[in-house]
Amino acid sequence: MTEERRVHLSRSARPAYDALEVFSRTVGDLAAQSGIDARLREIALLHSSQLNGCAYCVRLHTDRALAAGLTADEITQLAVWRDSGVFSARERAALELAERYVHISDAGIPDEVYDRVGGIFSEEEYVAISWLLVSINAFNRVAIAGRYPVPPRRATDA
């Protein structure tokens, strides 16, 4: 099947996609009420999208990360966060959890990760970040399966 003929899930089954969007808004509200700020949220969502290889969501969440106050330098450091000194303990915990949710089939959330991340986040924050990660992984799969286009930006688009 060529890209031109590929099924676009969000258009082909709009009620399902609408439900996913409602779910995403609900999860976003839960995160905000739990004290997860936009910066932390976007760090987790952007890194998940990078790991999943979702070009569409990487662009979307890069824009949102910039709007949330991340610098270009911080965004470039996401790929090497373990070796970088630019992220706080909370941000590093969210990045580690993001990796575990992307690669959930490898070992689930190992006890040592759960304990380490749980020592940084409250239970409410852990739950909120987990739901954010469930949501972004669903959106990544929809966009990747549909090969959502990511055309070059014109200088006026950036």
Residue 3 has pLDDT above 70, yes or no: no
pLDDT of residue 53: 97
Q: Residue 78 in contact with residue 95, Cβ under 8 Å?
A: yes
Integer Cα distance of 25 and 75 in angstroms: 24
Residue 98 has pLDDT above 60, yes or no: yes
User: pLDDT tens, 34-56?
Assistant: 999 999 999 999 999 999 999 99
- Extract the runs of DSSP E, i.e. beta strands, from the chain: none
Q: Out of 3.30.420.140, 3.30.460.80, 3.20.20.70, 1.20.1290.10, select the CATH number for domain 37-145.
A: 1.20.1290.10
Banded model confidence at residue 156, pLDDT cuts 50, 70, 90: confident
User: pLDDT tens, 6-15?
Assistant: 788 888 899 9
Domain boundaries defined on the chain: 37-145
Give, in order, the Cα–Cα distances in Å from 105 to each of 66, 102, 109.
31, 8, 9
